[in-house]
Amino acid sequence: MHASQSYPAHAEHPLHADLIALSSSDGAQISVSLHGGHICSWRTADGIERLFLSPLTKWDAPSAIRGGIPVVFPQFAGRGPLPKHGFARTSQWTLIASELRANGEGFVHMTMSDTAETRSQFPFAFKLDLQANFAGASLSTALLVTNTGEQSFDFTCALHTYLAAEVPAAGTPVAGSPAAGSPAAVPSQPAILGLSTCRYENSIPADPLNFDGNGTLHITSEVDSIFFQAPATVELATSNMVMQIQQGGFEDIVVWNPWVAGTEKIGDLMPDAYQHFVCVEAATIEHPVTLAPGVQWRGHQEFLVKPIAHVD
């Protein structure tokens, strides 16, 4: 069962029939677009939107949707000869399933395969599948890559997740760090726990990462960093919740917030957009996947929201 649904940011979408909304039995909701195989919205059962979607998103087919969960394949960023982040996020996908399962979870499955256009850039046969299960305060996403051809190929990929988070404006005094061993004592700015022991690549050398003495990364300036061989579980802490983020298959994590100067360079973001999201991306970047004919690779990213009052 599925139906079209228009949120305010979708008002200019020319393909409303391709916007698919689904609810779980307890009232959690997601909205997806077949343009890019893109999860545009995720509302937990309490009605709170957990993804950021820019109101300036360009919904026309040549452009990627700004926000939600873009699928990055077969190249991350400009790290190769293809267009930035590859072509999956701007391709047309097909709906395989959109249903309420017997256990009360909502489930969506979208797919895309190689075309003459993709083969002109990436001369291989493949199939991508994006699956999402959701209910209550959780969302589980999985990206599957299958080599349907006769030649091996290499790829990098990511789920470029824009998580809704209120970030104090540049120059705003912020609260101190949480006390050691006390994840519930969150600061007023978003913070990410679990990355302090990772080797990382910082694309903004003028802005060193703001790790505190407890190993917590605070979002207090522009961040564009790849954390290699990342742990399976990290947490995003904000002033009103802790989100547990788990991943498997993906080896790396990317954290991105463009801050003031970066936002000004992005035409489909409002000037204050950096105050409303932090990207925590499940990714495989440093070591490209080599996929033999007939073989399938799977990566997943899962989210569980824990209100501050219920944090252990």
Task: Provide the percentage of residues in the chain whose pLDDT is more than 90.
Answer: 81
* H/E segment holding residue 254: strand 252-257
Q: How many distinct structural domains can be found in the chain?
A: 1
Determine whether 281 is an active site residue.
yes
Q: Among 105, 222, 235, 281, which one carries the catalytic annotation?
A: 281
Residue 16 lies in a domain: yes
CATH of the domain at 259: 2.70.98.10
Residue 239 lies in a domain: yes
Q: Region 120-126: what's the mean pLDDT? A: 98
Residue 241 lies in a domain: yes
Task: Provide the percentage of residues in the chain whose pLDDT is more than 70.
Answer: 88
Q: Region 16-43: what's the mean pLDDT? A: 90
Cα Rg of the chain, angstroms: 19
Domain that holds residue 186: 8-310
Helices (H), the chain: 116-121, 259-264
Residue 145 lies in a domain: yes
Residue 1 lies in a domain: no
7, pLDDT greater than 70: no
Over the stretch 259-304, which tens digit does the pLDDT of each residue have? 999 999 999 999 999 999 999 999 999 999 999 999 999 999 999 9
Instruction: Please say whether the dihedral angle defined by the alpha carbons of residues 89, 92, 93 and 95, taken in this order, is positive or negative.
Output: positive
Tokens for 300? 């997943």
Residue 247 lies in a domain: yes
Over the stretch 72-117, which tens digit does the pLDDT of each residue have? 999 999 999 999 999 999 999 999 999 999 999 999 999 999 999 9
- Cis amide prior to 74 (ω within 30 degrees): yes
71, pLDDT greater than 90: yes
Over the stretch 202-244, which tens digit does the pLDDT of each residue have? 999 888 999 999 999 999 999 999 999 999 999 999 988 999 9
Residue 3 lies in a domain: no
181, pLDDT greater than 90: no
Q: Among 35, 109, 160, 218, which one carries the catalytic annotation?
A: 160
The pLDDT of residue 269? 96
Q: Kindly report the average pLDDT of the chain as a whole number.
A: 90
Residue 264 lies in a domain: yes
Determine whether 218 is an active site residue.
no
**pTM of the predicted structure, to 2 decimals:** 0.91
AA identity, residue 231 = P
